Amino acid sequence: MMKARRYVLDEYADHQLYKELAAREKDSGNKEALIKLAAHEYDHYLFWRKFAPGYQPVLSPFFLAGFRFMRRFCGLTFTVKFLERHEHATIQEYKGVLAGLSGEDKARLEKIIADENEHEKFFVGQIRETVIKYIGFVALGLADAIVEITGVHAGFLGVTNSTLFAGVSGLIVGISASISMGSAAYLQAKQDPHRSAWKSAVITGVSYILSVIMLAVPYFLTHNMSCAFTFSILVGVTLIAFLTFYSAVVFDRRFWREFVETVGLMLATAAVTFVLGVFLGNAFGLQHIMS
Protein backbone atom coordinates (compact mmCIF):
# COMPACT_ATOMS: atom_id res chain seq x y z
CA MET A 1 0.00 0.00 0.00
CA MET A 2 1.66 3.21 -1.23
CA LYS A 3 0.53 5.44 1.64
CA ALA A 4 1.09 2.92 4.43
CA ARG A 5 4.42 4.41 5.51
CA ARG A 6 2.88 7.87 5.88
CA TYR A 7 0.03 6.46 7.94
CA VAL A 8 2.53 4.57 10.12
CA LEU A 9 4.52 7.75 10.68
CA ASP A 10 1.42 9.85 11.42
CA GLU A 11 0.00 7.43 13.98
CA TYR A 12 3.41 6.84 15.57
CA ALA A 13 4.03 10.59 15.83
CA ASP A 14 0.64 11.17 17.46
CA HIS A 15 1.28 8.30 19.89
CA GLN A 16 4.65 9.72 20.92
CA LEU A 17 3.26 13.23 21.31
CA TYR A 18 0.35 12.14 23.51
CA LYS A 19 2.74 9.97 25.50
CA GLU A 20 5.07 12.95 25.94
CA LEU A 21 2.20 15.22 27.02
CA ALA A 22 0.91 12.61 29.48
CA ALA A 23 4.36 12.20 31.06
CA ARG A 24 4.54 15.93 31.76
CA GLU A 25 0.92 16.40 32.86
CA LYS A 26 0.26 16.93 36.58
CA ASP A 27 -3.54 16.94 36.54
CA SER A 28 -4.68 13.34 37.05
CA GLY A 29 -7.79 13.67 34.88
CA ASN A 30 -5.91 15.22 31.98
CA LYS A 31 -3.12 12.66 32.36
CA GLU A 32 -5.59 9.77 32.12
CA ALA A 33 -7.24 11.22 29.00
CA LEU A 34 -3.83 11.67 27.34
CA ILE A 35 -2.75 8.11 28.19
CA LYS A 36 -5.91 6.78 26.54
CA LEU A 37 -5.32 8.91 23.47
CA ALA A 38 -1.73 7.63 23.27
CA ALA A 39 -3.00 4.04 23.55
CA HIS A 40 -5.48 4.60 20.72
CA GLU A 41 -2.80 6.02 18.45
CA TYR A 42 -0.43 3.16 19.23
CA ASP A 43 -3.12 0.64 18.36
CA HIS A 44 -3.64 2.43 15.02
CA TYR A 45 0.12 2.46 14.44
CA LEU A 46 0.31 -1.31 14.92
CA PHE A 47 -2.44 -1.81 12.34
CA TRP A 48 -0.72 0.23 9.62
CA ARG A 49 2.69 -1.25 10.35
CA LYS A 50 1.40 -4.56 8.88
CA PHE A 51 1.25 -2.86 5.49
CA ALA A 52 4.78 -1.41 5.73
CA PRO A 53 6.96 -4.33 6.88
CA GLY A 54 10.42 -3.39 8.01
CA TYR A 55 9.64 0.32 8.21
CA GLN A 56 10.55 1.93 11.54
CA PRO A 57 9.48 5.59 11.81
CA VAL A 58 11.94 8.03 13.36
CA LEU A 59 10.89 11.40 14.75
CA SER A 60 13.08 14.47 14.73
CA PRO A 61 13.90 15.79 18.22
CA PHE A 62 12.90 19.23 16.91
CA PHE A 63 9.42 17.86 16.21
CA LEU A 64 8.88 16.88 19.84
CA ALA A 65 10.58 20.04 21.10
CA GLY A 66 8.21 22.16 19.04
CA PHE A 67 5.18 20.57 20.65
CA ARG A 68 6.71 20.87 24.11
CA PHE A 69 7.09 24.58 23.41
CA MET A 70 3.48 24.75 22.22
CA ARG A 71 2.27 22.97 25.36
CA ARG A 72 4.15 25.36 27.61
CA PHE A 73 3.06 28.60 25.95
CA CYS A 74 -0.32 27.75 24.40
CA GLY A 75 -1.71 25.26 26.87
CA LEU A 76 -2.71 21.60 26.78
CA THR A 77 -6.14 22.06 25.19
CA PHE A 78 -4.73 24.07 22.27
CA THR A 79 -1.94 21.54 21.71
CA VAL A 80 -4.28 18.51 21.67
CA LYS A 81 -6.84 20.29 19.50
CA PHE A 82 -4.06 21.31 17.11
CA LEU A 83 -2.99 17.67 16.85
CA GLU A 84 -6.57 16.64 16.12
CA ARG A 85 -7.07 19.17 13.30
CA HIS A 86 -5.40 16.95 10.70
CA GLU A 87 -7.57 13.99 11.68
CA HIS A 88 -10.48 15.13 9.45
CA ALA A 89 -8.43 14.73 6.26
CA THR A 90 -6.89 11.51 7.57
CA ILE A 91 -10.33 10.00 8.23
CA GLN A 92 -11.39 10.71 4.64
CA GLU A 93 -8.24 8.99 3.37
CA TYR A 94 -8.89 5.99 5.60
CA LYS A 95 -12.44 5.73 4.22
CA GLY A 96 -10.98 5.65 0.73
CA VAL A 97 -8.67 2.79 1.71
CA LEU A 98 -11.61 0.75 3.06
CA ALA A 99 -12.73 -0.20 -0.46
CA GLY A 100 -9.47 -2.07 -1.02
CA LEU A 101 -9.66 -4.12 2.18
CA SER A 102 -11.70 -7.10 3.23
CA GLY A 103 -12.31 -9.39 6.17
CA GLU A 104 -10.53 -8.65 9.44
CA ASP A 105 -8.46 -5.79 8.04
CA LYS A 106 -11.57 -3.97 6.84
CA ALA A 107 -13.30 -4.45 10.17
CA ARG A 108 -10.18 -3.24 11.99
CA LEU A 109 -9.93 -0.09 9.87
CA GLU A 110 -13.63 0.62 10.39
CA LYS A 111 -13.00 0.51 14.13
CA ILE A 112 -10.01 2.85 13.74
CA ILE A 113 -12.20 5.31 11.84
CA ALA A 114 -14.79 5.06 14.62
CA ASP A 115 -12.04 5.77 17.16
CA GLU A 116 -10.95 8.85 15.25
CA ASN A 117 -14.53 10.08 14.87
CA GLU A 118 -15.86 9.43 18.36
CA HIS A 119 -13.56 8.10 21.04
CA GLU A 120 -10.76 10.63 20.61
CA LYS A 121 -13.23 13.53 20.52
CA PHE A 122 -14.66 12.17 23.76
CA PHE A 123 -11.27 11.99 25.46
CA VAL A 124 -10.27 15.43 24.16
CA GLY A 125 -13.48 16.72 25.72
CA GLN A 126 -12.33 15.40 29.10
CA ILE A 127 -9.36 17.76 29.14
CA ARG A 128 -10.02 20.83 31.26
CA GLU A 129 -7.81 23.88 31.65
CA THR A 130 -8.31 27.10 33.57
CA VAL A 131 -7.15 29.13 30.57
CA ILE A 132 -10.10 27.85 28.51
CA LYS A 133 -12.57 29.05 31.15
CA TYR A 134 -11.17 32.56 30.86
CA ILE A 135 -10.19 32.72 27.19
CA GLY A 136 -13.20 34.93 26.53
CA PHE A 137 -11.84 37.54 28.93
CA VAL A 138 -8.39 37.36 27.32
CA ALA A 139 -10.02 37.92 23.94
CA LEU A 140 -12.08 40.79 25.35
CA GLY A 141 -8.99 42.55 26.69
CA LEU A 142 -6.82 42.02 23.61
CA ALA A 143 -9.42 42.79 20.94
CA ASP A 144 -10.80 45.88 22.63
CA ALA A 145 -7.32 47.27 23.31
CA ILE A 146 -6.16 46.70 19.73
CA VAL A 147 -9.17 48.46 18.21
CA GLU A 148 -9.30 51.31 20.73
CA ILE A 149 -5.59 52.12 21.02
CA THR A 150 -5.01 51.83 17.28
CA GLY A 151 -7.80 54.39 16.96
CA VAL A 152 -6.05 56.67 19.46
CA HIS A 153 -2.75 56.42 17.62
CA ALA A 154 -4.43 57.04 14.27
CA GLY A 155 -6.12 60.12 15.70
CA PHE A 156 -2.80 61.55 16.85
CA LEU A 157 -1.29 60.74 13.44
CA GLY A 158 -3.58 63.45 12.08
CA VAL A 159 -2.73 65.90 14.87
CA THR A 160 0.97 65.67 15.69
CA ASN A 161 4.34 64.56 14.32
CA SER A 162 5.61 63.69 17.81
CA THR A 163 5.87 59.92 18.22
CA LEU A 164 6.68 60.39 21.91
CA PHE A 165 3.47 62.34 22.47
CA ALA A 166 1.41 59.76 20.60
CA GLY A 167 3.03 56.84 22.42
CA VAL A 168 2.60 58.32 25.88
CA SER A 169 -0.99 59.33 25.11
CA GLY A 170 -1.77 55.78 23.98
CA LEU A 171 -0.35 54.40 27.23
CA ILE A 172 -2.34 56.82 29.38
CA VAL A 173 -5.60 56.14 27.55
CA GLY A 174 -4.91 52.40 27.48
CA ILE A 175 -4.11 52.01 31.17
CA SER A 176 -7.19 54.03 32.11
CA ALA A 177 -9.33 51.92 29.77
CA SER A 178 -7.89 48.69 31.17
CA ILE A 179 -9.21 49.60 34.63
CA SER A 180 -12.63 50.24 33.12
CA MET A 181 -12.56 46.97 31.18
CA GLY A 182 -11.42 45.04 34.25
CA SER A 183 -14.29 46.48 36.27
CA ALA A 184 -16.78 45.52 33.53
CA ALA A 185 -15.36 41.99 33.41
CA TYR A 186 -15.66 41.74 37.21
CA LEU A 187 -19.33 42.68 37.13
CA GLN A 188 -19.99 40.33 34.21
CA ALA A 189 -18.27 37.37 35.88
CA LYS A 190 -20.20 37.87 39.11
CA GLN A 191 -23.25 36.59 37.24
CA ASP A 192 -21.43 33.35 36.36
CA PRO A 193 -21.00 30.87 39.24
CA HIS A 194 -18.36 28.90 37.28
CA ARG A 195 -15.87 31.77 37.06
CA SER A 196 -14.01 33.88 39.59
CA ALA A 197 -14.93 37.56 39.27
CA TRP A 198 -11.49 38.69 40.44
CA LYS A 199 -9.65 36.36 38.05
CA SER A 200 -11.82 37.56 35.19
CA ALA A 201 -11.11 41.21 36.05
CA VAL A 202 -7.35 40.69 36.39
CA ILE A 203 -7.08 38.61 33.19
CA THR A 204 -9.05 41.19 31.18
CA GLY A 205 -7.08 44.12 32.60
CA VAL A 206 -3.66 42.49 32.16
CA SER A 207 -4.49 41.38 28.60
CA TYR A 208 -5.54 44.94 27.81
CA ILE A 209 -2.41 46.52 29.30
CA LEU A 210 -0.04 44.09 27.56
CA SER A 211 -1.70 44.87 24.23
CA VAL A 212 -1.43 48.61 24.89
CA ILE A 213 2.29 48.33 25.69
CA MET A 214 3.05 46.27 22.57
CA LEU A 215 1.12 48.70 20.37
CA ALA A 216 2.96 51.67 21.93
CA VAL A 217 6.51 50.28 21.68
CA PRO A 218 7.08 51.36 18.01
CA TYR A 219 6.41 54.99 18.99
CA PHE A 220 9.38 54.94 21.35
CA LEU A 221 11.73 53.35 18.82
CA THR A 222 11.47 55.90 16.02
CA HIS A 223 10.75 59.59 15.48
CA ASN A 224 8.95 58.95 12.21
CA MET A 225 5.22 59.06 12.92
CA SER A 226 4.15 57.17 9.79
CA CYS A 227 6.72 54.46 10.40
CA ALA A 228 5.68 54.08 14.05
CA PHE A 229 2.01 53.86 13.09
CA THR A 230 2.70 51.26 10.40
CA PHE A 231 4.64 49.02 12.75
CA SER A 232 2.01 49.45 15.45
CA ILE A 233 -0.64 48.32 12.95
CA LEU A 234 1.50 45.27 12.12
CA VAL A 235 1.77 44.45 15.83
CA GLY A 236 -2.02 44.74 16.10
CA VAL A 237 -2.61 42.46 13.11
CA THR A 238 -0.15 39.90 14.52
CA LEU A 239 -1.93 39.88 17.89
CA ILE A 240 -5.30 39.50 16.17
CA ALA A 241 -3.95 36.63 14.05
CA PHE A 242 -2.63 34.80 17.11
CA LEU A 243 -5.80 35.30 19.14
CA THR A 244 -8.07 34.32 16.24
CA PHE A 245 -6.04 31.22 15.40
CA TYR A 246 -5.97 30.17 19.05
CA SER A 247 -9.75 30.51 19.32
CA ALA A 248 -10.27 28.77 15.97
CA VAL A 249 -8.27 25.74 17.12
CA VAL A 250 -9.74 25.49 20.62
CA PHE A 251 -13.37 26.14 19.70
CA ASP A 252 -13.36 24.70 16.14
CA ARG A 253 -14.16 28.04 14.52
CA ARG A 254 -13.32 29.46 11.12
CA PHE A 255 -10.08 31.41 11.23
CA TRP A 256 -10.25 33.64 8.15
CA ARG A 257 -13.74 35.02 8.69
CA GLU A 258 -13.07 36.17 12.27
CA PHE A 259 -9.59 37.41 11.39
CA VAL A 260 -10.80 39.55 8.48
CA GLU A 261 -13.71 40.93 10.52
CA THR A 262 -11.50 41.98 13.44
CA VAL A 263 -8.75 43.46 11.25
CA GLY A 264 -11.41 45.28 9.23
CA LEU A 265 -12.88 46.77 12.40
CA MET A 266 -9.44 47.88 13.56
CA LEU A 267 -8.58 49.53 10.23
CA ALA A 268 -12.02 51.15 9.93
CA THR A 269 -11.65 52.63 13.42
CA ALA A 270 -8.17 53.86 12.56
CA ALA A 271 -9.42 55.50 9.35
CA VAL A 272 -12.28 57.31 11.10
CA THR A 273 -10.12 58.58 13.96
CA PHE A 274 -7.38 59.66 11.56
CA VAL A 275 -9.87 61.78 9.59
CA LEU A 276 -11.22 63.18 12.86
CA GLY A 277 -7.67 63.96 14.03
CA VAL A 278 -6.83 65.78 10.79
CA PHE A 279 -10.05 67.79 11.01
CA LEU A 280 -9.54 68.81 14.65
CA GLY A 281 -5.85 69.47 14.08
CA ASN A 282 -6.61 71.87 11.24
CA ALA A 283 -9.61 73.44 12.98
CA PHE A 284 -7.70 74.31 16.15
CA GLY A 285 -4.21 74.68 14.70
CA LEU A 286 -2.88 71.77 16.75
CA GLN A 287 -0.29 70.61 14.22
CA HIS A 288 1.96 73.54 15.07
CA ILE A 289 1.39 73.38 18.81
CA MET A 290 1.88 69.63 19.22
CA SER A 291 4.77 69.07 16.80
The enclosing domain of 49 has a CATH number of: 1.20.1260
- For 38-62, what is each residue's pLDDT tens digit? 998 999 999 999 888 888 898 888 8
Mark whether 89 and 166 lie in a shared domain.
no
Non-local CB neighbours of 10 within 8 Å, separated by 6+ positions:
86, 90
Residues 162 and 117 in one domain: no
Residue 231 and residue 217: Cα distance in Å, rounded?
A: 9
Same domain, residue pair 29 and 146: no
1 three-state secondary structure: coil
* Residue from 222, 206, 67, 269 nearest 198 by CA: 206
pLDDT, mean of residues 69-77? 88
- Of 71, 106, 127, at which residue does a domain stop? 127
Nearest to 181 by CA among 213, 216, 212: 212
The verdict on 117 and 222 lying in the same domain is no
Per-residue model confidence as pLDDT tens digits over 93-138: 888 888 888 889 889 999 888 887 776 666 667 776 676 778 888 8
b/e per residue, 197-222, with b = 16+ CB within 10 A? eebbbbbbbebbbbbbebbbebbeee
Same domain for 38 and 10 = yes
Contact call for residues 208 and 144 (beta carbons, < 8 A): yes
Question: 228 with 94, same domain?
Answer: no
Query: Do both 178 and 203 map to the same domain?
Result: yes
- What DSSP element (H or E) covers 254? none
The answer, yes or no, to whether residue 290 has pLDDT greater than 70, is no
- Is 238 in the same domain as 253? yes
Q: Are residues 202 and 95 in the same domain?
A: no
Q: Are residues 109 and 151 in the same domain?
A: no
Cβ atoms of 120 and 90 closer than 8 Å: no
Task: Give residue-wise pLDDT tens across range 178-188.
Answer: 998 889 888 88
Domain co-membership, 283 together with 159: yes
Structurally, how many domains does the chain consist of? 2
End residue of a domain, out of 127, 147, 163: 127
Q: Could you list the residue range(s) of the whole structural domain that residue 11 is in?
A: 4-127
State the pLDDT at residue 278.
82
Which range among 21-30, 56-65, 129-138, 165-174 shows the weakest confidence by mean pLDDT? 129-138
Do 115 and 151 fall into the same domain?
Answer: no
CB 228 within 8 A of CB 159: no
Single residue among 127, 157, 176 that ends a domain in this structure: 127
